[in-house]
Structure 1
Amino acid sequence: MNSTVNTAIRIPTEIYEKIEFQASAEDKTISAIINNVLRKYVSWDQFVSDIGFVFLQKPFVRNIFEHLSDEIIIKAARTSCYTGMRDAISFIHGKNDLESIVDVLKLWFSASNFNNKVIQSDGKLEFRIQHNLGRKGSLYIGTLISSLFADLNIKSKESLLKEHSLVIVFNIVSKK
Protein backbone atom coordinates (compact mmCIF):
# COMPACT_ATOMS: atom_id res chain seq x y z
CA MET A 1 0.00 0.00 0.00
CA ASN A 2 1.25 3.47 -0.87
CA SER A 3 1.77 5.85 1.99
CA THR A 4 -0.29 9.02 1.98
CA VAL A 5 -0.02 12.49 3.45
CA ASN A 6 -2.93 14.39 4.93
CA THR A 7 -2.92 18.00 3.84
CA ALA A 8 -5.33 20.88 3.56
CA ILE A 9 -5.68 22.91 0.38
CA ARG A 10 -8.01 25.68 -0.67
CA ILE A 11 -10.15 24.91 -3.71
CA PRO A 12 -12.50 27.46 -5.27
CA THR A 13 -16.12 26.53 -4.58
CA GLU A 14 -17.10 26.11 -8.25
CA ILE A 15 -14.19 23.69 -8.83
CA TYR A 16 -14.99 21.73 -5.68
CA GLU A 17 -18.61 21.41 -6.77
CA LYS A 18 -17.53 20.04 -10.17
CA ILE A 19 -15.21 17.53 -8.49
CA GLU A 20 -17.99 16.56 -6.09
CA PHE A 21 -20.40 16.05 -9.00
CA GLN A 22 -17.82 13.96 -10.90
CA ALA A 23 -17.14 11.84 -7.83
CA SER A 24 -20.84 11.17 -7.41
CA ALA A 25 -21.30 10.36 -11.12
CA GLU A 26 -18.38 7.90 -11.07
CA ASP A 27 -19.23 6.50 -7.62
CA LYS A 28 -15.79 7.54 -6.34
CA THR A 29 -14.62 9.62 -3.43
CA ILE A 30 -13.67 13.25 -3.85
CA SER A 31 -10.19 12.28 -2.67
CA ALA A 32 -9.93 9.66 -5.44
CA ILE A 33 -10.89 12.20 -8.12
CA ILE A 34 -8.40 14.77 -6.81
CA ASN A 35 -5.65 12.14 -6.58
CA ASN A 36 -6.32 11.04 -10.19
CA VAL A 37 -6.06 14.64 -11.35
CA LEU A 38 -2.81 15.18 -9.44
CA ARG A 39 -1.35 11.85 -10.63
CA LYS A 40 -2.13 12.73 -14.26
CA TYR A 41 -0.59 16.16 -13.84
CA VAL A 42 2.70 15.00 -12.32
CA SER A 43 3.10 12.05 -14.70
CA TRP A 44 1.95 13.58 -18.00
CA ASP A 45 0.28 16.99 -18.17
CA GLN A 46 3.23 19.01 -16.89
CA PHE A 47 5.41 17.53 -19.67
CA VAL A 48 3.17 17.64 -22.76
CA SER A 49 4.11 21.09 -24.00
CA ASP A 50 7.81 20.50 -23.29
CA ILE A 51 7.83 17.29 -25.34
CA GLY A 52 5.84 18.73 -28.25
CA PHE A 53 2.40 17.17 -27.86
CA VAL A 54 -0.66 19.10 -29.01
CA PHE A 55 -4.35 18.34 -28.68
CA LEU A 56 -6.25 17.78 -31.91
CA GLN A 57 -9.75 16.50 -32.53
CA LYS A 58 -9.94 12.84 -33.57
CA PRO A 59 -12.06 13.55 -36.69
CA PHE A 60 -9.38 15.97 -37.91
CA VAL A 61 -6.54 13.48 -37.32
CA ARG A 62 -8.55 10.67 -38.95
CA ASN A 63 -9.20 12.91 -41.97
CA ILE A 64 -5.51 13.80 -42.33
CA PHE A 65 -4.53 10.12 -42.08
CA GLU A 66 -6.96 9.23 -44.87
CA HIS A 67 -5.19 11.67 -47.22
CA LEU A 68 -1.78 10.09 -46.63
CA SER A 69 -0.38 6.93 -48.15
CA ASP A 70 0.48 4.00 -45.92
CA GLU A 71 4.15 4.55 -46.78
CA ILE A 72 4.10 8.17 -45.59
CA ILE A 73 2.34 7.20 -42.35
CA ILE A 74 4.87 4.42 -41.68
CA LYS A 75 7.81 6.73 -42.45
CA ALA A 76 6.46 9.47 -40.15
CA ALA A 77 5.79 6.97 -37.35
CA ARG A 78 9.32 5.54 -37.64
CA THR A 79 11.11 8.89 -37.82
CA SER A 80 9.86 12.12 -36.29
CA CYS A 81 6.99 10.61 -34.29
CA TYR A 82 9.20 7.82 -32.94
CA THR A 83 11.89 10.33 -31.99
CA GLY A 84 9.37 12.54 -30.22
CA MET A 85 7.91 9.64 -28.25
CA ARG A 86 11.37 8.27 -27.38
CA ASP A 87 12.34 11.73 -26.15
CA ALA A 88 9.13 11.89 -24.10
CA ILE A 89 10.02 8.57 -22.46
CA SER A 90 13.52 9.81 -21.63
CA PHE A 91 12.20 13.19 -20.45
CA ILE A 92 9.59 11.65 -18.13
CA HIS A 93 11.54 8.63 -16.85
CA GLY A 94 15.19 9.41 -17.55
CA LYS A 95 15.62 5.98 -19.18
CA ASN A 96 14.31 3.94 -22.07
CA ASP A 97 13.44 0.48 -20.74
CA LEU A 98 10.41 -1.78 -21.04
CA GLU A 99 8.60 -0.38 -17.99
CA SER A 100 9.21 3.25 -19.04
CA ILE A 101 7.94 2.64 -22.57
CA VAL A 102 4.81 0.87 -21.33
CA ASP A 103 4.15 3.59 -18.75
CA VAL A 104 4.44 6.47 -21.23
CA LEU A 105 2.34 4.65 -23.82
CA LYS A 106 -0.38 4.15 -21.20
CA LEU A 107 -0.15 7.85 -20.29
CA TRP A 108 -0.46 8.79 -23.97
CA PHE A 109 -3.44 6.48 -24.50
CA SER A 110 -5.15 7.83 -21.41
CA ALA A 111 -4.51 11.48 -22.31
CA SER A 112 -5.82 10.77 -25.84
CA ASN A 113 -8.92 9.02 -24.49
CA PHE A 114 -7.98 5.78 -26.24
CA ASN A 115 -9.58 2.88 -24.40
CA ASN A 116 -6.74 0.48 -23.84
CA LYS A 117 -5.68 -2.63 -22.05
CA VAL A 118 -2.07 -3.69 -21.55
CA ILE A 119 -1.67 -7.34 -20.59
CA GLN A 120 1.68 -8.76 -19.54
CA SER A 121 1.83 -12.51 -18.89
CA ASP A 122 3.51 -15.72 -19.99
CA GLY A 123 6.39 -13.94 -21.74
CA LYS A 124 3.98 -11.79 -23.78
CA LEU A 125 3.10 -8.13 -23.72
CA GLU A 126 -0.21 -7.34 -25.43
CA PHE A 127 -1.64 -3.93 -26.23
CA ARG A 128 -5.33 -3.59 -27.07
CA ILE A 129 -6.15 -0.06 -28.16
CA GLN A 130 -9.48 1.42 -29.25
CA HIS A 131 -8.63 4.76 -30.90
CA ASN A 132 -11.34 5.57 -33.50
CA LEU A 133 -8.78 6.99 -35.95
CA GLY A 134 -9.47 4.57 -38.81
CA ARG A 135 -7.28 1.81 -40.27
CA LYS A 136 -4.46 4.25 -40.95
CA GLY A 137 -4.58 5.33 -37.32
CA SER A 138 -4.04 1.67 -36.41
CA LEU A 139 -1.11 1.55 -38.84
CA TYR A 140 0.41 4.68 -37.30
CA ILE A 141 0.03 3.59 -33.67
CA GLY A 142 1.19 0.03 -34.37
CA THR A 143 4.26 1.22 -36.27
CA LEU A 144 5.16 3.72 -33.55
CA ILE A 145 4.84 1.14 -30.76
CA SER A 146 6.85 -1.41 -32.75
CA SER A 147 9.59 1.16 -33.37
CA LEU A 148 9.86 1.92 -29.65
CA PHE A 149 10.20 -1.75 -28.75
CA ALA A 150 12.71 -2.31 -31.57
CA ASP A 151 15.12 -0.18 -29.49
CA LEU A 152 15.04 -3.02 -26.95
CA ASN A 153 15.37 -5.70 -29.65
CA ILE A 154 11.77 -6.74 -29.03
CA LYS A 155 9.80 -7.52 -32.17
CA SER A 156 6.05 -7.82 -32.49
CA LYS A 157 4.83 -11.40 -32.54
CA GLU A 158 1.49 -10.53 -34.08
CA SER A 159 -0.64 -7.52 -34.84
CA LEU A 160 -4.23 -7.04 -35.84
CA LEU A 161 -4.96 -3.64 -37.37
CA LYS A 162 -8.67 -2.90 -37.56
CA GLU A 163 -10.67 0.13 -38.63
CA HIS A 164 -10.73 1.78 -35.21
CA SER A 165 -8.65 -0.47 -32.99
CA LEU A 166 -5.52 -2.53 -32.89
CA VAL A 167 -4.03 -5.42 -31.02
CA ILE A 168 -0.27 -5.84 -31.01
CA VAL A 169 1.60 -8.56 -29.14
CA PHE A 170 5.31 -8.73 -28.28
CA ASN A 171 7.37 -11.64 -26.98
CA ILE A 172 9.32 -10.49 -23.95
CA VAL A 173 11.75 -12.26 -21.70
CA SER A 174 10.77 -11.72 -18.10
CA LYS A 175 13.53 -10.92 -15.63
CA LYS A 176 13.65 -13.19 -12.59
Structure 2
Amino acid sequence: MSELLEKATFAGGCFWCMVKPFDQWDGVYAVVSGYTGGEIENPTYELVKTGESGHFEAVEITYDPKIISYDKILELYWPQIDPTDDGGQFHDRGPQYRTAIFYHNKQQKQKSESSKQQLSHSGKFKQPIVTEILPASPFYPAEEFHQDFYKKEKEAYDIDRNKSGRDEFIEQNWK
Protein backbone atom coordinates (compact mmCIF):
# COMPACT_ATOMS: atom_id res chain seq x y z
CA MET A 1 0.00 0.00 0.00
CA SER A 2 1.36 3.39 -1.02
CA GLU A 3 1.87 5.99 1.65
CA LEU A 4 0.33 8.51 -0.74
CA LEU A 5 -3.31 7.56 -0.46
CA GLU A 6 -5.91 10.00 -1.73
CA LYS A 7 -9.57 10.70 -0.99
CA ALA A 8 -12.53 10.91 -3.35
CA THR A 9 -15.93 12.01 -2.07
CA PHE A 10 -19.24 11.45 -3.85
CA ALA A 11 -22.91 11.94 -3.07
CA GLY A 12 -25.25 9.65 -4.96
CA GLY A 13 -28.41 9.35 -2.94
CA CYS A 14 -28.61 6.86 -0.11
CA PHE A 15 -25.07 6.10 1.00
CA TRP A 16 -25.94 2.45 1.57
CA CYS A 17 -26.09 1.97 -2.21
CA MET A 18 -22.89 3.90 -2.90
CA VAL A 19 -20.45 1.75 -0.93
CA LYS A 20 -20.48 -1.58 -2.76
CA PRO A 21 -19.69 -0.23 -6.27
CA PHE A 22 -16.34 1.11 -5.02
CA ASP A 23 -15.59 -1.28 -2.18
CA GLN A 24 -14.56 -4.22 -4.31
CA TRP A 25 -11.82 -2.62 -6.45
CA ASP A 26 -8.10 -3.17 -6.00
CA GLY A 27 -6.51 -0.01 -4.66
CA VAL A 28 -9.60 1.08 -2.72
CA TYR A 29 -8.80 0.79 0.96
CA ALA A 30 -11.90 2.26 2.58
CA VAL A 31 -15.36 3.44 1.62
CA VAL A 32 -16.95 5.30 4.51
CA SER A 33 -20.60 6.38 4.62
CA GLY A 34 -21.11 9.85 6.01
CA TYR A 35 -22.25 13.42 5.69
CA THR A 36 -20.70 16.44 4.01
CA GLY A 37 -21.61 19.85 2.67
CA GLY A 38 -23.51 21.21 5.65
CA GLU A 39 -22.66 23.82 8.27
CA ILE A 40 -23.32 21.79 11.43
CA GLU A 41 -20.39 19.91 12.93
CA ASN A 42 -20.81 16.20 13.69
CA PRO A 43 -24.33 15.82 12.29
CA THR A 44 -26.38 12.74 13.05
CA TYR A 45 -28.44 10.63 10.70
CA GLU A 46 -31.59 11.88 12.43
CA LEU A 47 -30.62 15.48 11.65
CA VAL A 48 -29.42 14.88 8.07
CA LYS A 49 -32.47 12.84 7.06
CA THR A 50 -34.70 15.87 7.72
CA GLY A 51 -33.07 17.56 4.72
CA GLU A 52 -32.64 20.75 6.73
CA SER A 53 -28.96 20.49 7.75
CA GLY A 54 -27.49 21.24 4.33
CA HIS A 55 -25.55 17.97 4.33
CA PHE A 56 -25.47 15.35 1.61
CA GLU A 57 -25.36 11.65 2.35
CA ALA A 58 -22.02 10.75 0.79
CA VAL A 59 -19.19 8.27 0.65
CA GLU A 60 -15.54 9.05 1.23
CA ILE A 61 -13.25 6.70 -0.67
CA THR A 62 -9.62 6.23 0.36
CA TYR A 63 -7.62 4.89 -2.56
CA ASP A 64 -4.12 4.42 -3.91
CA PRO A 65 -3.81 6.38 -7.18
CA LYS A 66 -0.94 4.12 -8.25
CA ILE A 67 -3.41 1.19 -8.34
CA ILE A 68 -6.72 2.84 -9.27
CA SER A 69 -6.94 6.25 -10.89
CA TYR A 70 -9.34 9.05 -10.07
CA ASP A 71 -10.52 8.77 -13.69
CA LYS A 72 -11.50 5.14 -13.05
CA ILE A 73 -13.31 6.12 -9.85
CA LEU A 74 -15.26 8.75 -11.81
CA GLU A 75 -16.12 6.07 -14.39
CA LEU A 76 -17.50 3.95 -11.56
CA TYR A 77 -19.44 6.85 -10.02
CA TRP A 78 -21.57 8.09 -12.91
CA PRO A 79 -23.40 4.81 -13.65
CA GLN A 80 -24.56 4.54 -10.02
CA ILE A 81 -26.77 7.63 -10.23
CA ASP A 82 -29.40 9.51 -12.18
CA PRO A 83 -27.36 12.64 -12.92
CA THR A 84 -30.47 14.49 -14.17
CA ASP A 85 -32.44 14.36 -10.91
CA ASP A 86 -31.95 17.38 -8.64
CA GLY A 87 -34.61 16.32 -6.13
CA GLY A 88 -32.85 13.26 -4.73
CA GLN A 89 -32.18 9.80 -6.07
CA PHE A 90 -34.77 7.19 -6.88
CA HIS A 91 -37.10 6.65 -3.92
CA ASP A 92 -34.95 8.78 -1.61
CA ARG A 93 -36.17 12.36 -1.98
CA GLY A 94 -34.83 15.60 -0.57
CA PRO A 95 -31.70 17.74 -0.72
CA GLN A 96 -29.71 15.30 1.43
CA TYR A 97 -29.98 12.74 -1.42
CA ARG A 98 -28.80 14.99 -4.28
CA THR A 99 -25.79 13.98 -6.35
CA ALA A 100 -22.44 15.75 -6.12
CA ILE A 101 -18.76 15.24 -6.65
CA PHE A 102 -16.63 16.84 -3.94
CA TYR A 103 -13.14 17.55 -5.22
CA HIS A 104 -10.09 17.54 -2.95
CA ASN A 105 -7.64 19.31 -5.28
CA LYS A 106 -7.40 21.17 -8.60
CA GLN A 107 -6.74 17.98 -10.55
CA GLN A 108 -9.88 16.30 -9.20
CA LYS A 109 -11.89 19.44 -9.97
CA GLN A 110 -10.66 19.50 -13.57
CA LYS A 111 -11.24 15.77 -14.10
CA SER A 112 -14.70 15.97 -12.53
CA GLU A 113 -15.73 18.93 -14.66
CA SER A 114 -14.37 17.26 -17.79
CA SER A 115 -16.20 13.99 -17.10
CA LYS A 116 -19.45 15.88 -16.44
CA GLN A 117 -19.03 17.81 -19.68
CA GLN A 118 -18.36 14.58 -21.61
CA LEU A 119 -21.53 13.05 -20.15
CA SER A 120 -23.51 16.21 -20.98
CA HIS A 121 -22.38 16.07 -24.61
CA SER A 122 -22.74 12.30 -24.97
CA GLY A 123 -26.45 12.42 -25.78
CA LYS A 124 -27.12 9.70 -23.20
CA PHE A 125 -29.62 11.93 -21.38
CA LYS A 126 -32.09 14.42 -22.84
CA GLN A 127 -32.28 16.41 -19.61
CA PRO A 128 -29.37 18.48 -18.24
CA ILE A 129 -26.77 16.88 -15.98
CA VAL A 130 -27.42 18.50 -12.59
CA THR A 131 -24.79 16.71 -10.48
CA GLU A 132 -22.88 19.45 -8.70
CA ILE A 133 -19.10 19.66 -8.52
CA LEU A 134 -18.19 21.24 -5.20
CA PRO A 135 -15.07 21.74 -3.10
CA ALA A 136 -14.66 19.08 -0.43
CA SER A 137 -15.78 20.22 2.99
CA PRO A 138 -15.54 18.45 6.34
CA PHE A 139 -16.69 14.84 6.07
CA TYR A 140 -18.35 13.27 9.10
CA PRO A 141 -18.57 9.47 9.19
CA ALA A 142 -22.10 8.18 9.73
CA GLU A 143 -23.01 6.09 12.72
CA GLU A 144 -21.51 2.58 12.81
CA PHE A 145 -24.88 1.03 11.92
CA HIS A 146 -24.62 2.60 8.45
CA GLN A 147 -21.04 1.47 7.70
CA ASP A 148 -20.78 -1.47 5.27
CA PHE A 149 -24.55 -1.85 5.48
CA TYR A 150 -24.65 -4.02 2.36
CA LYS A 151 -22.45 -6.57 4.16
CA LYS A 152 -23.79 -6.37 7.72
CA GLU A 153 -27.50 -6.15 6.89
CA LYS A 154 -27.60 -7.94 3.54
CA GLU A 155 -31.31 -8.79 3.61
CA ALA A 156 -32.41 -5.27 4.59
CA TYR A 157 -29.99 -3.78 2.04
CA ASP A 158 -31.30 -6.01 -0.75
CA ILE A 159 -34.93 -5.15 0.07
CA ASP A 160 -34.23 -1.41 0.15
CA ARG A 161 -32.14 -1.48 -3.02
CA ASN A 162 -34.74 -3.54 -4.90
CA LYS A 163 -37.61 -1.19 -4.03
CA SER A 164 -35.56 1.97 -4.74
CA GLY A 165 -35.69 1.76 -8.54
CA ARG A 166 -31.93 2.30 -8.79
CA ASP A 167 -31.16 -1.02 -10.47
CA GLU A 168 -33.92 -0.57 -13.06
CA PHE A 169 -32.62 2.90 -13.89
CA ILE A 170 -29.05 1.64 -14.21
CA GLU A 171 -30.17 -1.20 -16.46
CA GLN A 172 -32.22 1.10 -18.70
CA ASN A 173 -29.79 4.02 -18.90
CA TRP A 174 -26.26 2.78 -18.30
CA LYS A 175 -26.04 -0.79 -19.63
Pair in the same fold by TM > 0.5: no
TM-score (norm 2): 0.27
Q: Kindly name which structure, 1 or 2, has the bigger radius of gyration based on alpha carbons.
A: 1
Higher strand share: 2
